[in-house]
Amino acid sequence: MEQNDSGKRRLPPWLKMKMPKGESYSRVKNLVQKYGLHTICTSGNCPNIGECWGAGTATFMILGDICTRNCKYCGVKTGKPAPPDRDEPLRVAESVRIMKLRHCVLTSVDRDDLPDRGAGFWAYTIGKIKEINPNTTIEALIPDFDGLPRNLGLILAAAPEVISHNLETVRRLTPIIRSRARYERSLQVLKYLAENKAVTKSGIMLGLGERREEVLETMDDLLSVGCRILTIGQYLAPTLRHIPVAEYFPTEVFREYERIGLEKGFRFVESNPLVRSSYHAEKHVENKE
CATH of the domain at 204: 3.20.20.70
Residue 264 belongs to a domain = yes
Half-sphere exposure of 177 (CA within 13 A, CB side): 26
- What pLDDT, on the 0 to 100 scale, is given for residue 57? 58
Q: How many angstroms separate the CA atoms of 132 and 136, rounded? A: 9
Provide the domain limits for residue 87. 18-286
Residue 9 belongs to a domain = no
**55-to-31, 84, 95, 185, 233 alpha-carbon distances in Å:** 14, 29, 15, 35, 20
Residue 204 belongs to a domain = yes
Residue partners of 269: CB distance under 8 A and separation at least 6: 229, 230, 231, 232, 257, 258, 261, 262
Q: How many structural domains comprise the chain?
A: 1
Q: What is the pLDDT along the chain (289 residues), one digit of tens a residue?
A: 434 333 456 777 766 655 555 555 555 666 666 656 655 554 444 555 545 544 545 688 999 999 999 999 998 899 999 999 999 999 999 988 888 888 889 999 999 999 999 999 999 999 999 999 999 999 999 999 999 999 999 999 999 999 999 999 999 999 999 999 999 999 999 999 999 999 999 999 999 999 999 999 999 999 999 999 999 999 999 888 999 999 999 999 999 999 999 999 999 999 999 887 665 555 556 645 5
- What pLDDT, on the 0 to 100 scale, is given for residue 104? 86
- What pLDDT, on the 0 to 100 scale, is given for residue 30? 64
Residue 6 belongs to a domain = no
Residue 13 belongs to a domain = no
Residue 160 belongs to a domain = yes
Residue 10 belongs to a domain = no
- What pLDDT, on the 0 to 100 scale, is given for residue 3? 41
- Single pTM value for the model: 0.84
Residue 8 belongs to a domain = no
Q: Which residues pair with 200 in a beta bridge?
A: 163
